[in-house]
Amino acid sequence: MILSNNRLYFLCGLPRSGKTTASQKWLASNDHRTIISGDEVRLAMTGERYFHELEPHVYAHIITSIRYRLKFEELLYDDTNTSIFSLYSLFRIDQNAQPIIIDTKKEIRVGRAIALGQDYLIPVIEKCHKNMRFLMTIGGGTGWSISLLNNGINKIRGLVQEGYTLNDIFTYFYKGF
């Protein structure tokens, strides 16, 4: 749990959806803010935007960086943040962390990845889209809506606030849902 009054924000959206553009606008609106970009950390550590085998090491570095930087300033974590694991990790740092959802159609994101020669992102886009659908399901519905996504995110926040472990949360959703 954080020991400062600084707030943690995080982006939630598909790869190639404009999250980094949104984060730059967020940064420009206040001098006492910083961004931690998952893509930039991955590039610095691996030389690639996504390297599946090293993802646990990359994520450990990101979480450590968030904990440290949040002591000094408001922070935005720029990454997809669509999995139960990522949401759990962020809410363990700050139970009041606020999502900023970037809503775009999967097909448009796939097309953009192809147009940019980033075909390797297609499975990541598919996985994140599936994660977002699951969050909407636990948020109380079957359609695609920001409201359902927020509900799902807040459901995970509530379980973290109640003291559920990550394993408890997975059990709750996958065995009891």
How far is 166 from 85, CA to CA, in rounded Å? 7
Question: Where in the sequence is the domain holding 39, given as residue range(s)?
Answer: 8-174
Taking alpha carbons only, the member of 151, 133, 150 closest to residue 142 is 133
Q: Per-residue confidence at 49, pLDDT binned at 50, 70, 90?
A: confident
Total number of domains constituting the chain: 1
Please report, rounded to a whole number, the percentage of residues in the chain having pLDDT higher than 90: 73
Residue 80, domain member (yes or no): yes
CATH of the domain at 154: 3.40.50.300
Average of per-residue pLDDT across 13-17 = 91
User: The tokens 């990845």 sit on which residue?
Assistant: 113
Reading the block at residue 159, the tokens are: 């379980």
Residue 143, domain member (yes or no): yes
Contact 93, 66 (CB under 8 A): yes
pLDDT at 143: 86
Residue 130, domain member (yes or no): yes
Taking alpha carbons only, the member of 7, 37, 32 closest to residue 22 is 37
* pLDDT over 70 at 176, yes or no: no
Residue 1, domain member (yes or no): no
Q: Per-residue confidence at 50, pLDDT binned at 50, 70, 90?
A: confident
* pLDDT over 80 at 11, yes or no: yes
Residue 2, domain member (yes or no): no
